[in-house]
Amino acid sequence: MTDRIAVPTSIAGYTALVTGGGSGIGLGTATRLVRDGAHVTICGRTEEKLVAAVTELEAAAATATSAGGSGGTARYVVADVTVEEQVATAVAEAASPRGHLDILFANAGGSFHMGPLATADVEAVRSTVDLNLIGTFLCLKHGAPVMAAGVGEGIDGAEAPGGSFIGMSSGAGAFPHRYLWAYGASKAGIDMLCKCAAEELGHTGLRVNTVQPGIIDDELMSFITAGGPLLDDYLEGMPISRVGSVDDVAAAVRYLAGPESTWISGVNFPVDGGHHLRHGADYGLLFGE
């Protein structure tokens, strides 16, 4: 019988950038990475929020270390992912400890439009696409060169392996959610962007995947998770009928970021209790329709 080869699982010493890392899924994922020993840089547009987040991350790292683990480090850089020069600066800062970036979670996103096509404000739609799709593209453009295998130093001076890029998509990008079409279209664009990048950049050692969260109980979605017809609609469309947690998504990102998934690329990974098997939520319920 052939002996099984142990698969490495540690990310201790890895460098990581998490955009939109000051709250919600971004902060939850950064916390998971720091607890597992990564050196994490978070970025966002609001310095006050980032300062508070780094304090939380440092506490998580200290707790991990005191429990016998290898807690990492945390720092921040103020950056708007729609501004190319600021994205380039954030990537360079995150990669600076070794000249190499191991993990980039392009989490920053949101929506400026909700409602019917016929009455949509074009600038709100453009802003949604710019934040989600163009922001992710800029992270890939500037992240890929410093995530390639052999660029900079790996752990303990070894040659750097290829990095892992994870884009933040959504179930709304995979199947229709009524009145959430601008957000959904931009997230669908992220899924295709990352598939194309996985194919194009695989030879450099870079893996590119996305996660597609369903309804998550964080501050962004609290107006839904507090209860009401839209939450009921979500739960009726989910085989595992519960609201997701930030930790559910953080665990998926951690898997895609780590050495456990070194042969996985070009995947759009649903984290949604099986919601993608049924039907999208009807945001018309917010309008009493």
CB half-sphere exposure, 229, CA atoms < 13 A: 8
Instruction: Quickly state the pLDDT bin for 8 (edges 50, 70, 90).
Output: low
Q: What is the pLDDT of residues 183-239, one digit of tens each?
A: 999 999 999 999 999 999 999 999 999 999 999 999 889 999 999 999 999 999 999
**Closest alpha carbon to 45 in 18, 77, 67:** 77
Structural domains of the chain in order of their starting residue, each with its CATH number? 15-287 (3.40.50.720)
**Closest alpha carbon to 16 in 59, 84, 63, 77:** 77
Specify the pLDDT at position 66. 87
> How many Å apart are CA 149 and CA 160, to the nearest integer?
5
**DSSP letter assigned to residue 264:** -
Task: Look up the pTM and report it.
Answer: 0.96
> How many Å apart are CA 278 and CA 18, to the nearest integer?
31
pLDDT of 1 higher than 80: no
The answer to whether 113 and 121 are in contact (CB under 8 A) is yes
The answer to whether 172 and 180 are in contact (CB under 8 A) is yes
pLDDT of 117 higher than 50: yes
Specify the pLDDT at position 91. 98
> How many Å apart are CA 144 and CA 139, to the nearest integer?
8
Please provide the size of the chain in residues: 289
pLDDT of 2 higher than 60: no
What's the rounded mean pLDDT across residues 139-166? 92
What's the rounded mean pLDDT across residues 271-280? 97
Catalytic residue ranges: 183
